[in-house]
A and B are shown apart, each in its own frame.
Chain A
Amino acid sequence: MTIRVALIGNPNVGKSVIFNALTGGRAHVGNWPGKTVEKKEGICRYKGERIEVVDLPGTYSLTAHSIDELIARDYIVKEKPDVVIDIVDASNLERNLYLTLQLLELEANVVVALNKFDVAESLGYEIDVQELSRILGVPVVPTVATEGKGLRELLEAVVESAKGRKRVITVSYGKAAEELISKIEKAILKDRGLSSRYPTRWLAIKILEGDEEVLKEVERSPYKSEILEIIQ
């Protein structure tokens, strides 16, 4: 069985170190089609599984405002990798978990690597890994990539995660926003083309945010006026 894995994370979290450790540094480097953004791919074998790893551009978020973010987002939405490894800087959880939340909203099959775990510990942070995993609803693995620590456990979690679909957790944005989100979702569900391609809740949230790329998709929908009426 081949498992397709995408690596994502904020800039400077040790993404390349993990990529190199997993693939042994034998990466195929090219460009994303039509974009001058480097695309790195490599292969890793673990317990008889062939794991294809794609390194996505480092991003803080998944909006449509920069080409890096758009590439990362399109890959996850359109190519639907079996597992997305979200590399999180354990010493800077608050900002890093913002990307994690967006991945969960995209209904990606996420495994969180809590990298730089040693740095977090040396700063005196105590991270309850199990509790974090429970709250996020996905596996969380502490790693120190520069020392190769936790990588075996990470691969184990990836293989496990590829086998079963996880439950989807949602974060509530408060009553007012949630009412709009569910109204938009109902309208989206009428358009089977649209709702089969993207997670409906994610679409609804992006429509509320006024995401340009998502609004372009809505423009093409036969239910366009019905959807857009809600956000007027």
Chain B
Amino acid sequence: MNLRLSDLKVGEKGVVSRVVGDRATRRRLLDMGLTRGTEVVVVRKAPLGDPIELLLKGYNLSLRKSECENVYVLVEEEK
């Protein structure tokens, strides 16, 4: 299932499939390690759901919700 990273709940994880947005935003997200194939876990969310703390490649990264909307992740469906 392909979702936006911003749609994931705390504790859920996904694998980055696509990063969209204008050149600068996209570039920045890729620089911070959100490249295709990277596994990302949502660690926690601030009240009102923004910002969002992520765990990827062994480090924590906090992003605005709007930035997470630019990242598409593949999530394994529950059986």
Please give the residue numbers on chain A whose beta carbons come within 8 Å of chain B beta carbons, in ascending order.
Answer: 60-61, 63, 65, 91-92, 94-95, 98, 209-210
Minimum distance in angstroms from B21 CB to a CB of chain A: 13
B23 to chain A: which residues have CB within 8 Å?
210
Distance to closest chain B CB from A149 (angstroms) = 22
Contact B58 A63 (CB under 8 A): no
Q: Is B64 an interface residue (CB 8 A)?
A: no
Inter-chain contact B33/A65, CB cutoff 8 Å: no
Question: Which single member of B27, B58, B59 contacts A65 (CB below 8 Å)?
Answer: B27
Contacts of B31 in A (CB 8 A): 60-61, 63, 98
Alpha-carbon distance between A61 and B59 when the two chains are bound, in angstroms? 16
B36 within 8 Å of A (CB atoms): no
Contact A95 B59 (CB under 8 A): yes
Evaluate contact between A209 and B27: CB separation under 8 angstroms: yes
Any A CB within 8 A of the CB of B1: no
Q: Does B28 contact A (CB under 8 A)?
A: yes
B9 on the A face (CB < 8 A): no
Contacts of B33 in A (CB 8 A): 94-95, 98
Which residues of chain B are within 8 angstroms of A91 by Cβ–Cβ distance? 58
Contact with B32, one of A60, A92, A209, A210 (Cβ below 8 angstroms): A60
> What are 23 residue pairs bridging A and B, where the CB atoms are less than 8 Å apart in the complex?
A60-B31, A60-B32, A61-B31, A63-B27, A63-B28, A63-B31, A65-B24, A65-B27, A65-B28, A91-B58, A92-B57, A92-B58, A92-B59, A94-B33, A94-B57, A94-B58, A95-B33, A95-B57, A95-B59, A98-B31, A98-B33, A209-B27, A210-B23
Give the docked Cα–Cα distance between A92 and B58 (Å): 7
Residues of chain A within 8 A of B27, CB atoms compared: 63, 65, 209
Chain A residue, CB-CB nearest to B35? A98
Known: A60-B31, A61-B31, A63-B27. 12 other contacts (CB 8 A): A60-B32, A63-B28, A65-B24, A65-B27, A92-B57, A92-B59, A94-B33, A94-B58, A95-B33, A98-B31, A209-B27, A210-B23
B19 CB → nearest A CB, Å: 14
Residues of B within 8 A of A95 (CB): 33, 57, 59
Instruction: Determine the chain A residues whose CB is within 8 A of the CB of B58 once the complex forms.
Output: 91-92, 94
CB closest residue in chain A, given B61:
A95
- The answer for the CA separation of A60 and B58 in the assembled complex, in Å, is 15
